[in-house]
Amino acid sequence: MADDVWLVVGLGNPGPSYARTRHNIGHLVADELAARTGSTFKQHKQVKSEVIETRISGLRTIIAKPRSYMNESGGPVAGLLKFFKVDPANLIAVHDELDIDFGVLRCKFGGGDNGHNGLKSLRKSLGTGEYYRVRFGVGRPPGRQSPADFVLNEFSSTERKDLPFAVDRTADAVESLMTAGLETTQGLYNS
């Protein structure tokens, strides 16, 4: 395994109908990282994902968006790790988190899945939960709305006003994890 290679995976669902939903925050952050490097996603020939091979702060980085549904993300992510020879300890998964208020970040290494189907799929396919997570808070659904419906809806008009800043800050946190490490990143971005 190549220690200096990072795999950054933005979790989400494929297709335009999901593009601006809460569940696709990972894709939005991956798009921001791609824009920063001036790169364009290309369909990977062997793994069901869109990928970019680039450098972030001098580090070889693979940015990916699995082209599977969230609850089937594990297969493509496992395939990417194998293809690019990346250790799971150099994986950063960016995903939505219901138990955190909108726009609040929590960066961590390892831990449970907290009912998140994308993370459950990763754990099943990778055989471990020992990888970095950048958890983007989307908050709890209002009233009696089901969590599944809530994350598959678009951000509210109020949230959309702050979304570009929040996505930018999340991309900053991903870069910080790679260059400054977990403790420094948590001090800067876990709010």
Instruction: Give a yes or no: residue 56 inside a domain.
Output: yes
CB 66 within 8 A of CB 76: yes
The contacts of residue 185 (CB under 8 Å, 6+ apart) are 107, 173, 176, 177
The overall average pLDDT reported for the chain is 95
Res 115: pLDDT: 81
d(Cα 23, Cα 31) in Å, to the nearest integer?
A: 15
- Is 69 annotated in a binding site? The answer is yes
Nearest C-alpha neighbor of 88 from the set 49, 123, 64: 123
CB 10 within 8 A of CB 30: yes
Instruction: Give a yes or no: residue 69 inside a domain.
Output: yes
d(Cα 57, Cα 80) in Å, to the nearest integer?
A: 21
**Rounded mean pLDDT, 89-102:** 96
The helix (run of H) or strand (run of E) holding residue 84 is helix 74-84
CB 104 within 8 A of CB 137: yes
pLDDT at 2 over 70: no
Instruction: Give a yes or no: residue 1 inside a domain.
Output: no
Read off the pLDDT of residues 43-93 as tens digits, 9 standing for 90 and up: 998 999 999 999 999 999 999 999 999 999 999 999 999 999 999 999 999
- Is 71 annotated in a binding site? The answer is yes
- Is 18 annotated in a binding site? The answer is yes
d(Cα 98, Cα 147) in Å, to the nearest integer?
A: 8
pLDDT at 110 over 50: yes
Res 74: pLDDT: 96
Residue appearing with tokens 């831990």: 111
Res 189: pLDDT: 97
pLDDT at 160 over 80: yes
- Is 13 annotated in a binding site? The answer is no
| Domain enclosing residue 118, as ranges | 6-189
Instruction: Give a yes or no: residue 87 inside a domain.
Output: yes
Catalytically active residues, by annotation: 23
Res 3: pLDDT: 60
- Residue 121's CATH number: 3.40.50.1470
Beta-strand (E) ranges in 123-183?
A: 132-137
Band of pLDDT at residue 1, cut at 50, 70 and 90: very low
Instruction: Give a yes or no: residue 80 inside a domain.
Output: yes
Backbone conformation region of residue 139, classed left if phi is above 0, alpha if psi is from -120 to 50, else beta: left
Instruction: Give a yes or no: residue 148 inside a domain.
Output: yes
Res 114: pLDDT: 80
Q: For the chain, how many structural domains are there in total?
A: 1
